[in-house]
Structure 1
Amino acid sequence: MAAGDFILGFLAGCAAIIVVLALVAFSFIRSGDIYGLGHWKLNAKAPFPSMWMNLGYWTRDDGTPIQHLDEAARNMLANILKAAGLASNNTTTQNAVAVLDVGFGCGDQTVALAELIQAPSRPHFRYVGLTLNEVQQQAAQQRLDASLLAMDKSAADNLSFKLFQADAAKPQSWNKAIRTAVDSLSDTAFSERWLLGLDCLYHFSPSRKPIFKHAAQHMDANVMAFDLVLSDDASAWQTLAVRLLGFVLLCPWRTFLTEGQYRQQLVECGYDDGGHIEIRDVSDHVFAGLAGFLQRQHAALSPYGISLTGYTAVGKVYSWLHRTRVLKAAIVVARKKSKSQ
């Protein structure tokens, strides 16, 4: 009986395997994947070489247009660093640098920042990153670890990176480990201390003021950012439209400020308006480039059954912003008042 049961079990198992394989084959044939393009999934390389996500700066220094998001997004960071005087071609690497990066994404921004300012060549570089998203924090840590592992050990000795999941908009909510890490950035050994907010500050609730105040009053740090600024010429209905847009994007109702309001907010938080706050309109390099990329990406991926419907709708919004300039894409640099002021 035992031998008979074994044979029956074996045959039943074989039959089950055959049925499953038949169902899988039938599924492929019915969907057309076996003869179509569905096997693209087998050719995708993971982890992805980049996971950038910001609106992008879609013009190179020589004036030629950029076609892909990863290059445009990195270029946005590069232009912010140039405006702050941190890019390697704008300054020497003699200064030690400390950065609090709020909303650092999936790690590309962290690694690129260190590369663009030539952090290994500086006396010291200390970086603390905060993000609300746990999955992105984990992905960023993996990407950062891989980058540091590939780096010469002697070059990495003067680099310090710490990534945390936290609400950067609410410094009072930070735990002891985060407060200690952020406080370490105020060390006077760092002649360059900066708060970086790349394409995230308009999400901060209740407003940008708590993080600006913390950077100014507790870190004695300057601000470098990319943000969206409400046009002075926006009509009442246009202002309502962008406030509704912000509401859909889970932003505070009055998150979009005019340039004058934005400047005043920085002054109230401790930054010097005596020629030390720059709000530069870069809309020509942002909205149209992103909208065009989303259209191209949708056309390129549609044959593979990949839908970008949500992103193409967003692309239409950016096309509208490009035409109307209701919101301006802006690079913001604000410097602290000197101690004597």
Structure 2
Amino acid sequence: MGFLDTIISFIERLVRLFIGANEEKLYGLDHAILNVEVPPRNMWMNMGYWKDTKSFPEACEALLELILITAGLLNEDKTVASTPSAIKLVDVGIGCGDQSLYLTRKLPVAGPDEQRRVLVDSYVGVTFARSQADFARDRLLSRSSDSDTAAWTPDVRIFAADAAKPDSWEPGLKTAVSNDHGHDKTQTWLLALDTLYHYKPSRTPLLTLACCNLQASFMAFDLLLDSSASFTSKLLVRLMCLLSGIPYTNILTTTQYEDMLVQAGYDRDTIQIRDISEHVFPGISAYIREKDRALKKFGMGVGKFKVPGWLFGWWGRSGVIRGVVVVARR
């Protein structure tokens, strides 16, 4: 064997060793990646409400619906509640816009003359990542031929900004959220779907803006610390916050959370906190575990979501963290 043949043989062995070009992998299931729909039909990202479903998109949508029901904007049967007021919605933490599509496209309501109108008359969506804002904006601009355009929210604006720091917002966003409605009966709502506990340094600047400047009612899904949590559990929660980048000062008890809302300007008598932990943490934890098992058959996995999946399971078992729907009315 010549020198060149030896080199080629050596390279072939390296390829087999490091790339694993064998028949089993060549004819395995990893080509599933080529069949994945891009972009996906759904891009939801919240913990979900799993009471009546095992589907991630359905659970995410159900959590949004539960918040709207608690706020009185939807009825228990998920029909739109009758309201004489136009509704302006400031929605922070919109991710890739699935909740934006739901709120501005999917919730038409019959008016007094039986003409279809939308639940949300004016919509401002905010997300931290510009890539998500651009993606959400593109999705909202795309119109399918079978859509009922008469039932779309006419005024929809999407911004990339840090919702935790209203002072840093660009002038266009500040103008968009301002309470100069031009309509005496307009009611403003701030929606924060599974996002507020991430806010640095705290939720307070946004909540104060909403209550005092925008005269907005508030609805959200958020995380609370169980008031009976042991010292050890609190230490573990602090470690969790350190590793995940969540400010530990954001993990409040129910009483502390109510005090925060009162400090922001809301009347304590208007605050409603609804614990839904049993239908949140076990469901999302089980879903992530099952998704990881299913993806491994195709040489994939849930990656960075595996640790949060374990964490949600611990929350569900220990009760140290509570998942709650919060509503505070102006």
- What TM-score bracket applies, with the shorter chain setting the length? 0.7 to 0.9
Deviation per CA, 1:83-105: give whole Å up to 9, x if none. 00111526115431111111001
Give the AA of the match of 2:329.
R
Q: Could you tell me which residue of structure 2 aligns to residue 193 of structure 1?
A: 188
- Aligned match of 2:100 in 110, 115, 124? 110
What TM-score, normalized to structure 2?
0.86
What TM-score, normalized to structure 1?
0.83
CA separation in 1, counterparts of 2:144 and 2:261? 35
- Aligned match of 1:56 in 48, 61, 68? 48
- Aligned match of 1:67 in 33, 47, 54? 54
Larger radius of gyration: 1
Q: Could you tell me which residue of structure 2 aligns to residue 132 of structure 1?
A: 128
CA separation in 1, counterparts of 2:120 and 2:308? 41
Aligned pairs for 1:270-281 (under 5 A) are 270-274=265-269, 276-281=270-275
Q: Could you tell me which residue of structure 1 aligns to residue 113 of structure 2?
A: none
What is the root-mean-square deviation in Å for CA atoms of aligned residues?
A: 2.3
Runs of 4+ in structure 1 deviating by more than 6 angstroms, as ranges, are none
The alignment status of 1:300 with 2:327, answered yes or no, reads: no
Give the AA of the match of 1:68.
S
SS at match of 1:57: coil
Aligned pairs for 1:235-274 (under 5 A) are 235-274=230-269
- Aligned match of 2:36 in 26, 35, 44? 44
Deviation per CA, 1:7-62: give whole Å up to 9, x if none. xxxxxxxxxxxxxxxx9xxx7954745311122122222221001000000013xx
- For the 8 Å contact 2:258–2:271, the answer to whether it is kept is yes
Closer/same/farther in 2, CA of residues 116 and 330 from structure 1, 3 Å limit: farther
- For the 8 Å contact 2:104–2:119, the answer to whether it is kept is no
CA separation in 2, counterparts of 1:84 and 1:117? 15
Aligned length: 305
Closer/same/farther in 2, CA of residues 143 and 32 from structure 1, 3 Å limit: farther
- For the 8 Å contact 1:291–1:318, the answer to whether it is kept is yes
Closer/same/farther in 2, CA of residues 321 and 140 from structure 1, 3 Å limit: same
- Aligned match of 2:65 in 78, 84, 90? 78
Structure 1 residue 260 displacement after superposition? 0.2
Closer/same/farther in 2, CA of residues 72 and 31 from structure 1, 3 Å limit: farther
The alignment status of 1:154 with 2:146, answered yes or no, reads: no
Greater mean deviation of Cα atoms: 254-263 or 316-325: 316-325
Greater mean deviation of Cα atoms: 108-117 or 205-214: 108-117
CA separation in 1, counterparts of 2:248 and 2:184? 40
CA separation in 1, counterparts of 2:20 and 2:83? 57
Q: Could you tell me which residue of structure 2 aligns to residue 121 of structure 1?
A: 117
Structure 1 regions of 5+ residues with no counterpart? 1-22, 61-65, 337-341
Closer/same/farther in 2, CA of residues 176 and 303 from structure 1, 3 Å limit: same
- For the 8 Å contact 1:186–1:220, the answer to whether it is kept is no
SS at match of 1:225: strand
Greater mean deviation of Cα atoms: 198-207 or 84-93: 84-93
CA separation in 2, counterparts of 1:245 and 1:31? 43
Q: Could you tell me which residue of structure 1 aligns to residue 198 of structure 2?
A: 203
Closer/same/farther in 2, CA of residues 135 and 59 from structure 1, 3 Å limit: same
Deviation per CA, 1:63-118: give whole Å up to 9, x if none. xxx11211100110010000001115261154311111110010111011234542
Structure 2 regions of 5+ residues with no counterpart? 1-14, 110-115
SS at match of 1:52: coil
- For the 8 Å contact 2:104–2:118, the answer to whether it is kept is no
